Amino acid sequence: MAAEQLRAPGSKPGENMLWGGRFTGGLDPLMVSYNESIYFDRAFHTQDIRGSIAWARANHKAGILSIAEFKAIESGLNKVEEEWVAGTFKIIPGVDEDIHTANERRLGEIIGKDIGGKLHTGRSRNEQVATDMRLWLRDELRKIETYLVDFLKVMAARAEQEIDILVPGYTHLQRAQPVRWSHWMLSYGMAFAQDLDRLREVIVRVNQSPLGAGALAGNCFGVDREAMAKELGFDGLLWNSMGAVSSRDFVVEAMQWGSMLMTHVSRWAEDLIIYSTGEFAFVRLADAYSTGSSLMPQKKNPDSLELLRGKSGRAFGQMAGLMMTVKGIPSTYNKDLQESVEPMLDHVKTVSDSIQIATGVLSTMSVNPQKMLASLDPFMLATDLADYLVKKGVPFRETHHISGQCVAFSEKTGVSMDKMSYSDFQKIDSRFEEDILKSFNYEHSVEQHSAIGGTAKARVLEQVEILKKMLE
């Protein structure tokens, strides 16, 4: 398509572009599509309309617009928003370069260019896109906050309900010590709760207004930036106009946060994938979050968890890619920054969807306490033997060695440690007394870990209550 065909009928080269007055030749058609962002930044249509109304109001108060002109612009912009919501807004390729251009073009068609053309007085798209992005990201992060709270509420509820289930605890993916199933859940619960704290801090930094910063030097019509910020629900202002239009730190930080969250989601998913295998069979996913095999009819695959694990790489890649984009650009605004929009949109959707899927998995998943209990091994109580002797006054380094001898005796004789006789223990060390046989009780073992943060029942329930408070 020729560049001339990309212009509205009867228009001059560049006439319909907000920047077009200085240009007399048409753009390469590929450059038009390469440059335009309307097909992804239209996601900001609501934020762009809200910001434009706040801008028009500020210009009215500054004496740039009459009350009649402001009312006409406000009414026209609301009609434009109605078209977006109804899905009837018609994008004109090659003309509607971005959401700002599209909205202003349509506003002029509705109320006339004489009045509509005054909307952009004193404003730059540099500040406009930064405002739209911050408003959109703030609103989406607040939604994500509610999803994460819901996820943690389910986790806290299950931890409380399933407090009596015991399960092997692992290090190096080898059975280590018995713990409560709830303790395992809360190990992730506390990590996700810290993610929630971090998210709330990120939202505060995102929610700062750049509107009124101009292209880079500020506004020369005396608009009230604080009034606009208040109208749009911002917590405060960005105080340097150059930094306000050029910084994408708020996007990078949000994506860094999302990458951290997805790291935790991925590890949580990995544990559950392992626990759902036939070899473990600790948990069973609901059909709603599983798929079958196209060849093997017996298969039930944990696709939801595998996708969660896989999408963590996607989230991290988007964050790392954006950091590489912004790391070397000069001040202030450069078109490279357009590359912050698409990764942000996809990253936010990925994280948002992932939390909701994780909540669905957790709330519908069934557990198999019998399989968990059957997986406990008397060797997992070897540390309890060492602790038993410590309480008799034996130095731990010595008790660790003695306990190892008990393990070696069991392996050599083929007699399970919990089936060894009192005399067997006496032969290994005379300081063992008859009550050593009481140590081979898994419930007793977990209850011994009663310090704060441990797996004893009272301490796990304490963690549940702490988690609940963190959600408030």
Q: Angle at Cα 212 formed by Cα 207 and Cα 216, nearest 5°?
A: 100
Instruction: Please give the Cα distance from 224 to 458 (Å, whole number).
Output: 56
The backbone torsions φ and ψ at residue 150, rounded to the nearest 5 degrees and listed phi first, read -60, -45
Number of H helices, E strands in the chain: 19, 6
Instruction: Please give the Cα distance from 405 to 396 (Å, whole number).
Output: 14
The backbone torsions φ and ψ at residue 174, rounded to the nearest 5 degrees and listed phi first, read -115, 145
| C-beta of residue 70 within 8 angstroms of C-beta of residue 57 | yes
Instruction: Please give the Cα distance from 295 to 312 (Å, whole number).
Output: 28
| C-beta of residue 322 within 8 angstroms of C-beta of residue 338 | no
Q: What is the DSSP letter of 235?
A: S
Q: Which amino acid is at 276?
A: S
| C-beta of residue 235 within 8 angstroms of C-beta of residue 208 | yes
Say which residue the tokens 């069934």 belong to.
Answer: 366
Q: Annotated active-site positions, please?
A: 172, 293
